[in-house]
Amino acid sequence: MTLTYALELIGTFVFAISGALAAEEHELDAFGITFIAFITALGGGTTRDVLLGIHPLVWIADTNYLLTIFVAVAVAIAFKQYILPLRKTFFLFDTIGIGFFTILGLKKALLVAQVSPLIGVIMGMVSATFGGVLRDVFCNQVPLIFRKEIYATACLVGAGIYLFLEKISPYTRLNTLLTIFIIIIIRFVAVKYKLSLTWKR
């Protein structure tokens, strides 16, 4: 098992737990919670691959992703009271997750579908954020990232920086870490100083 694969499953696990907790708040049943956990964790990559026409989808070819989600849902339901107080830790994991998924999505779009850099950056952002968008649509809410928080924008900036770093430096692993670090900084600063992309109207 490569490091990237392990990180992908861990990211899937973290996103599935946050999806399951969100679903619980909407008083869904066990099936609804599992569906929302699934779409939160795998909706972004699925949207990216359907738009790019890449088949088979990752979770269809490799059932470890689904098994990871089933475990995450069981953990989220069983240990809810222990997980909920860990919101800050989760915020960190979630941000690491979107950074990581942004870069993976960017790379897949560039290498497998051979898209232009602009589309690659957008597909990186779609991979990282569209799971949350679909989660909100299925829970009947205007998607959170359309209203507040610098979230998708952090992914776009991170993806752009990663492309730049790859041009000037051959150390892919270092570039990845640096990019994820920059995405974390952007989100932390934005949340701390309540920055947003809105303006007075």
Residues at the interface with a second copy (CB under 8 A): 23-24, 26-32, 35-36, 46, 50-53, 55-57, 60, 63, 66, 113, 115-116, 118-119, 122, 133, 137-143, 145-148, 151-153, 196-198, 201
Judged by beta carbon, residue 2 or residue 198, the one nearer a second copy is 198
Q: Which two tokens stand for residue 162?
A: 């990663």
The smaller minimum CB distance to a second copy, of residues 36 and 184, is found at 36
CB closer to a second copy out of 53 and 170? 53
Tokens of 22: 């969100």
CB of 169 to a second copy, least distance (A): 26
Closer residue to a second copy, CB minimum distance, 86 or 142: 142
| Least Å from the CB of residue 177 to a second copy | 25
Is residue 133 within 8 Å of residue 127, measured between CB atoms?
Answer: no
Which residue matches tokens 């928080």?
Answer: 149
CA distances, 37 to each of 24, 107, 117, 151, 194 (Å):
10, 25, 30, 19, 28
Give min distance, CB of 107 to a second copy, in A: 16
Nearest distance in Å: CB 27, a second copy = 7
Q: How far is the CB of 37 from a second copy (least distance, A)?
A: 12
Please check whether residue 105 is in contact with residue 164, taking contact to mean a CB–CB distance below 8 angstroms: no
Q: Residue 10 or residue 113: which is nearer to a second copy going by CB? A: 113
Rounded CA separation 115/79 (Å): 42
Residue 14 is which amino acid? V
Is the bond preceding residue 56 a cis peptide, omega within 30 degrees? yes
Distance CA 93, CA 139 (A): 23
